[in-house]
Each structure stands twice: as C-alpha cells, then as structure tokens.
Amino acid sequence: MAEAAANEQIHGYHDNDSSDTCHLRIIIINGKSLAKKDIFGASDPYVRIDLNTINGDINIDSVLTKTKKKTLNPTWNEEFVFRVKPSEHKLVFQVFDENRLTRDDFLGMVELTLNNLPTEQEDATISPQSYSLRPRRSVGSAKSRIKGTLEIYHAFIHESGETSESDTVDGEWEHMENVSRMSGTQTGQFPSSVNHEPLPSGWEERQDANGRTYYVNHTARTTQWERPLVSATNNSNVNVEAAASDFQRRFHISVDESDSGRPPVTPRSDEDALPPNWSMQVAPNGRTFFIDHAARRTTWIDPRNGRASPMPNQIRRVEDDLGPLPEGWEERVHTDGRVFYIDHNTRTTQWEDPRLSNPNIAGQAVPYSRDYKQKYEYFKSHIRKPTNVPNKFEIRIRRSSILEDSYRIINSVTKTDLLKTKLWVEFEGETGLDYGGLAREWFYLLSKEMFNPYYGLFEYSAMDNYTLQINNGSGLCNEEHLSYFKFIGRIAGMAVYHGKLLDAFFIRPFYKMMLQKPIDLKDMESVDTEYYNSLMWIKENDPRQLELTFSLDEDTFGQKSQHELKPGGSNIEVTDENKDEYIKLVIEWRFVARVKEQMSSFLDGFGSIIPLNLIKIFDEHELELLMCGIQNIDVKDWRENTLYKGDYHQNHIIIQWFWRAVLSFSNEMRSRLLQFVTGTSRVPMNGFKELYGSNGPQMFTIEKWGTPNNYPRAHTWYLHSTH
C-alpha cells in the first residue's frame, strides 16, 4: 500500500515537516438521488474535496472529480491520496451542478473529521460509507433543496511500523447502509449514528417530481414527509389518524402564531410574599380577597400584580393568555362579577377588553371588498336555477369510503341540474337531518380525500407542502384519472354553486387556467423560486454560453426523455434574439401543456355546473377566495358577528371566558372549533358576517344549554354552539 501511494499524486499538506502526518486514501464512488436544481433536466454533478484546518477553517488544498453529465445518480470511482494531520485537519466534500447560469449550483456537502478513520491492513476489508448530503451551515442555505447521498471510501494507508487505528466514525454524521466493495471479513465496520430501521408493514418510500422523499401508508391511504418508525406505528390506530391529520394540515392552520409579534409572557408566581401590612383571606363565595391593614381596607386586587383575583371555579392561569394590558389600563371586577376595564389615560371605563383591538392577538381586520361583493352578487344573480327537477338530491355515503362512494354517485348523474338542487347528505349508520351542516362536512371531508397526493391526481408544489398542483403523471397512477378530474371539477362547481368551500389551496397558475388567462413569468416565482431564477437569468443575460436548445429533459420514474418545445427544437439554439419565445414556451410547457388533458377534464366538470364565462368577472385572487374562503381566522371579527341567546350576553362571565379561550388558541385550534360548530374551517370572503345557515344568512350563535357538567354541543345546520 505504501508503495502504491508513492506512485500516486499526493494532495494536501506539503510542509517539509512530515511529523504527525499520514497518507489518507479517498475514493469518491457515487452519488444517489441528488437534487434537481433547475429546469434543464438532470444535473451535471462533480465533487470538490477540500482539506481544511479544524481551527479557522483555512483551506490547504482542493481537488475536483470529473463531471458526470445529465444524471442524478452519478458514478465516479475516482481515487485521491491526501497527506494530512488527523488531529488538525478535516475533509469537506461538496457536490456541485456544473456551469448552471452564472455559477455552479450547490447540491450538498459532507464534512469529515479524521481522528477515528480506519487504517488499511493486508488481511482487512474496509467498507465504503454512504453519507447523507447536508446544506451549508449558513442561514440562507437552509431554504435550498438538498437531498441524496454520497458514497465514499476512506482509510489511512498502512506504513511500516504503524499500528491500526480505531475505526469508529465521528457521531455527528448520519450514515446510510454500508456497501462492501471487497469480499471477505469486514473489520473496518463503521457504526451508524442514525439507524434507519426498515419501513413498517404497508409503507412505501417514494419521491415526488421535485426529488423530495415522502412516505406512503397504503393501509391508511395517507402520505407524509417524515420517515415512519415501526415502534410508532404499532401503538394503535389513533397514531395513524394523527399522522393523517398532521399531513392534511392546511395552510391557514399550519402558520405558527409564535411569530405573530406577541411579547413573551413571563410567568409570575402567586406565591410571592405579600407587601408589608398585607394579608390574604378567602370570602364565603370562595373568592380570594386582600386586606391592607395600614389603610384598614379590603380589595379584590392582588397587590403583587395589580390583577383581580379569579372568580370561584374560574381557571387560574400563571399569566393572562392575552399578555399585559396596554399602558394606563386596569382590569377590575364589578359587584355583579363582570370584568370591566379602566382607561386611566382618558378616565373612561368599558366592558370590552382593550387587547382585542391588538391585531397581533385578535388577528387582522377582515378587508371588506366592495368590488368583490358587487361581483359576487352579479355572479349569484346570473346563475341559472334548475327547473323540472326534484327538490333535493340525496347523497348516501360511507365515511370509510367517501371518495369512492361520492365518485360513483356524482359521476352517474347525466342531468347535471340535479346537482344544483338542495343537497341531502346522509352518512351510513348515522341518523340526522341535513339542514346544511352535513353538506358542508361532506365537502370538507371529500376535499381532504380528492386532493390527497396519495391518489396521485395532485401533488405539492416545489415551494411547500400544502399548495397543490395537478400531477402531470396522474395517468400513471390511475388509468381513469381523466374521469376523476371531471368528477373533481363537478364537486368544485357544486361547492361554488351551493356557497360551500373547498379545503385546498392551489398554485396561482391553476386559477389563471380556470379563467383562461395567460401565465407569465411572475406567476412562476410563487410556485418554484429556483425555476423562476433560472428563467430570469436567461431573460436578463445572453444565454448562448449555456448552449441551450428549444428542448427540455424529463425524468419520469427514472426514465429519461427529451421534450421539444417546438418542432425541431432540439436543433434550435436559444439566443438573445429568441430567448423570450423560449421562456414563454417553457412556462407553457411547465404549467399548461403537461396537464392540458387533466385541466380540460376538470373544466368540463366545473363548467357543467357553473358557466365558465361567469367566473371570468373575477381575477385569480378573487376566484381563490370564492372557492376556498379566507385563510386566517380573525377572532375580533368572529366576536363582533356572534349572537347570544338564553341567559348569555356579551359581558357574561362565561362568554368572556369563551373568547379568552379562543384568543389563546393557535390558528389550528380556532379552525377546529369553527369546523366543529359550522362544519367547515373556512370563512367567507367578507368575514363572519356572511356565514350561511339553513335559512340563509345566519350569525354564529352561542346559547346556554344543559348543566355545567355537560359537554358543549354544536348544531351545524343552525351555526350555533350550546354551552
């Protein structure tokens, strides 16, 4: 081995002082499942190997592998020998996509410390190691899509008089499976810091069109980004439901409200010592009061924090969920037990909590759109009402097969006017009358199934894991995919016709295609930033250096093919003169051409319920609101448009507790509460004032019912909750 090293080029440390140095053999074997970084098909990857100092990260030497053209699974098998000081040096392996636009695109890196690498022996076998590629540690690089693995052989070259070193690997790195490159007994075994156990029964690992790995649960018919564990899936079916619910989490309930700007709440202990000459006692009704012996008076106000003591049976909190009152405000309790607020700045009192006017707590005010209101009224007035049809259309379905049953029922209808009559939904095994609530729930549950990427009809966009786009490969997943898209179009049309909402978000070009509007480069930015940046560079520079043609490479389930953007496009060079045409054709192919059949079937179904010329009065933003409603739940608007019945009123202590609880909820919890009461988690365009019940416009209603021991119940057909 030492003789072989002498005949090879030695890279790395070249100081004349050879003490504490040794030779390290590196073989870059291959990469697997690398990220696709641009629109031009597969990458042209190469590896840069840097020998750096551990302290200061100073580069000593660098070498490059050869570039492998148009592949996401390159094989190099290139060997390098480095002279290193194991205690002072480290190796950094960076994978790049060669010569894309102005600079090479970063595909991921591996950082390797040298202290515990194995040493080659004549009778030993050392296996290569497969490392997960990771992003750079800089903040900005975290958004870059990094995936795949790099397989490397590394071992010190045995020299006379040298003893074998320990062969354990630094625990910082995630190792994939070991792949032996030699036969025989393996002595240089590297333990894995992260042991990826086999997938549980019924699970499958897949990759989407953007190269992201996701996992399919064939038992529950769900998908998720996180790798499932056997131990986690064997607990109970509850875990499966939780995983499905987590995967289906919608955009308007997945935004973490910790970023809302609310100041952090510092816990305050109620056990702090009282000031001198103060004591604390409990009144006959169970409420705590405080005695000021110096002034010979009593008060409900705790002198330690300036807050009124809680009413009996009121939930005590470490600190008010809404945070501190504005400066100059004070909270007090009326003799009848109602909480009121004093503004010492203006010397006024009021019943309403002043913190409700803080948009960081209550949410932004609903932007009332007069233009949209007028358009919507015009739209509703021009929708043709059916004639000579029954007064209702019955939909009997099973919750366990809601998609299959709904598909069978809706697609069997030849006279689509029947779908415009009153929808009467019945779930198998459940007795009840549908006054609108069950229909809303049906649209909600069916949306979750129709748009579930598990079925292969839709997929997530490249930007996130909640915005949907049509899967151009849907035909490979379902031979009847066009029939399903027509069915989905009918459901979307029925939702708009009946004033219901779909539980899904689509990319902006989807709405533009519905409106038959042209899709431009700006629309690309919200769908795929890297795609957009690539086209922007072409637009602003001379693309000749890229040697592009009017053709694009496609990779479908590992099968590579070339698509010509125009006849003979593979022989037409992209120049500064024709680049605008090239960009236009790329956008046309990316959003329209690949899904033309699917979109045509969707519009065929939608147009059978809603005339397509009618929706053209809306722009793409308004069409999204028409179909999907408002994204965020504004508690202030919710409270202002709520009706109270029975003994309840706006200032009743129970009502105050209710709204404080709602304000303390995350957006997800607010959505779940709204869905529990109304049957849907969405709100119409102009807020809660436009909620509809069984008899038309209906305010959200809270009514007193039962005893304090009863659970709350909801009547979705009346849009009210009883407490």
The answer to the question of residue 364 being in a domain is: no
pLDDT at 477 over 50: yes
Q: What are the tens digits of pLDDT across the range 151-185? A: 999 999 877 544 444 344 444 444 444 433 333 33
Helices within 352-413 (DSSP H only): 359-362, 370-381, 402-411
SS3 331: strand
Tell me, what's the pLDDT at 387? 85
Q: What are the tens digits of pLDDT across the range 27-81? A: 999 998 888 766 555 688 999 999 999 887 888 999 999 999 888 889 999 999 9
CA-wise closest residue to 376 among 603, 610, 614? 614
Query: Which range, of 12-21, 497-506, 653-662, averages the lowest pLDDT?
Result: 12-21
Stronger pLDDT, 224 or 522, i.e. the higher one:
522
**Calpha distance 723→711 (Å, rounded):** 7
pTM above 0.75, yes or no: no
Those residues with Cβ within 8 angstroms of residue 118's Cβ, 6 or more apart along the chain or in another chain: 124, 126, 155, 156, 164, 165, 166, 167, 187, 188, 190
Q: Burial, 433: exposed, middle or buried (Cβ in 10 Å; 0-12, 13-18, 19+)? A: exposed
Answer yes or no: do 133 and 242 share one domain.
no
Q: What angle do CA 431, 436, 440 make, to 5 degrees?
A: 95
Answer yes or no: do 214 and 130 share one domain.
no
268 near 305, Cβ under 8 Å? yes
The answer to the question of residue 303 being in a domain is: no
Q: What are the tens digits of pLDDT across the range 339-355? A: 788 888 888 888 777 87
Confidence tier at 490 by pLDDT (50, 70, 90):
very high
Write down which residue in 90, 122, 156 finishes a domain: 156
Answer yes or no: do 427 and 565 share one domain.
yes
Confidence tier at 294 by pLDDT (50, 70, 90):
confident
Give the CATH number of the domain where residue 496 resides. Answer: 3.90.1750.10
Tell me, what's the pLDDT at 418? 94
532 near 277, Cβ under 8 Å? no
Stronger pLDDT, 646 or 587, i.e. the higher one:
587
Q: What are the tens digits of pLDDT across the range 75-122? A: 999 999 999 998 889 999 999 988 655 567 888 999 998 888 888 888
| Structure-block tokens of residue 211 | 């190269």
Q: What is the mean pLDDT of the chain?
A: 77
User: Do β-strands 339-343 and 348-350 pair in parallel, antiparallel, or remain unpaired?
Assistant: antiparallel
Tell me, what's the pLDDT at 8? 66
Confidence tier at 722 by pLDDT (50, 70, 90):
low
Confidence tier at 256 by pLDDT (50, 70, 90):
very low
Rounded to 10 deg, the angle between the 667-678 and 437-450 helix axes is 130
Answer yes or no: do 485 and 578 share one domain.
yes
pLDDT at 263 over 50: no
Answer yes or no: do 134 and 219 share one domain.
no
Q: What is the gyration radius of the CA atoms in the chain, in angstroms?
A: 33
The answer to the question of residue 456 being in a domain is: yes
* CA dist 586 → 538, 562, 574, 579, 591 (Å): 12, 13, 12, 10, 9
Tell me, what's the pLDDT at 679? 56
User: Do β-strands 458-460 and 329-333 pair in parallel, antiparallel, or remain unpaired?
Assistant: unpaired
The answer to the question of residue 413 being in a domain is: yes
Q: What are the tens digits of pLDDT across the range 355-368? A: 776 666 666 555 54
**Calpha distance 535→528 (Å, rounded):** 11
DSSP string computed for 531-583: HHHHHHHHHHS-GGGGT-BSEEEEEETTEEEEEESSTTGGGSB--TTTHHHHH
Tell me, what's the pLDDT at 250? 36
Q: What are the tens digits of pLDDT across the range 406-418? A: 999 999 999 999 9
Tell me, what's the pLDDT at 26? 95
Write down which residue in 122, 156, 190 finishes a domain: 156
The answer to the question of residue 621 being in a domain is: yes
**Calpha distance 696→234 (Å, rounded):** 47
The answer to the question of residue 654 being in a domain is: no
Among positive and negative, which fits the CA dihedral 478, 479, 483, 486?
A: positive
Write down which residue in 140, 156, 172 finishes a domain: 156
586 near 551, Cβ under 8 Å? no
Tell me, what's the pLDDT at 137? 67
**Calpha distance 337→131 (Å, rounded):** 65
Answer yes or no: do 529 and 618 share one domain.
yes
Tell me, what's the pLDDT at 260? 40
* CA dist 45 → 405, 424, 573 (Å): 48, 58, 23
Q: What are the tens digits of pLDDT across the range 193-205? A: 334 467 787 788 7
Give the CATH number of the domain where residue 217 resides. Answer: 2.20.70.10
Give the CATH number of the domain where residue 11 resides. Answer: 2.60.40.150
Stronger pLDDT, 292 or 556, i.e. the higher one:
292
Mean pLDDT along residues 527-549: 85
CA-wise closest residue to 165 among 154, 177, 150? 154
User: Do β-strands 149-156 and 213-217 pair in parallel, antiparallel, or remain unpaired?
Assistant: unpaired
Answer yes or no: do 596 and 534 share one domain.
yes
Tell me, what's the pLDDT at 48? 95
Tell me, what's the pLDDT at 531? 79
**44: domain range?**
2-156
Residue pointed to by tokens 């004349």: 16
Answer yes or no: do 13 and 121 share one domain.
yes
Residue pointed to by tokens 């779908």: 419
User: Do β-strands 22-32 and 149-156 pair in parallel, antiparallel, or remain unpaired?
Assistant: antiparallel
Answer yes or no: do 420 and 529 share one domain.
yes
Answer yes or no: do 149 and 213 share one domain.
no
Q: What are the tens digits of pLDDT across the range 559-615? A: 777 889 999 998 999 999 999 999 999 999 988 999 999 999 999 999 999 999 999
Quote the number of domains for the chain. Answer: 3
pLDDT at 511 over 70: yes
CA-wise closest residue to 630 among 372, 281, 408? 372
Answer yes or no: do 581 and 441 share one domain.
yes
The answer to the question of residue 709 being in a domain is: no
Q: What are the tens digits of pLDDT across the range 437-463? A: 788 889 989 998 999 988 889 988 765
Tell me, what's the pLDDT at 723? 54
**Calpha distance 440→141 (Å, rounded):** 42
Mean pLDDT along residues 521-540: 83
Tell me, what's the pLDDT at 572? 92
* CA dist 206 → 77, 229, 324, 420, 450 (Å): 27, 16, 49, 40, 20
Most confident of 212-216, 285-289, 641-645, 702-706: 641-645
SS3 416: helix
Tell me, what's the pLDDT at 611? 93
Tell me, what's the pLDDT at 175? 46
Tell me, what's the pLDDT at 312? 58
The answer to the question of residue 359 being in a domain is: no
For residue 704, count other CB atoms closer than 10 A to its CB: 14
Answer yes or no: do 95 and 232 share one domain.
no
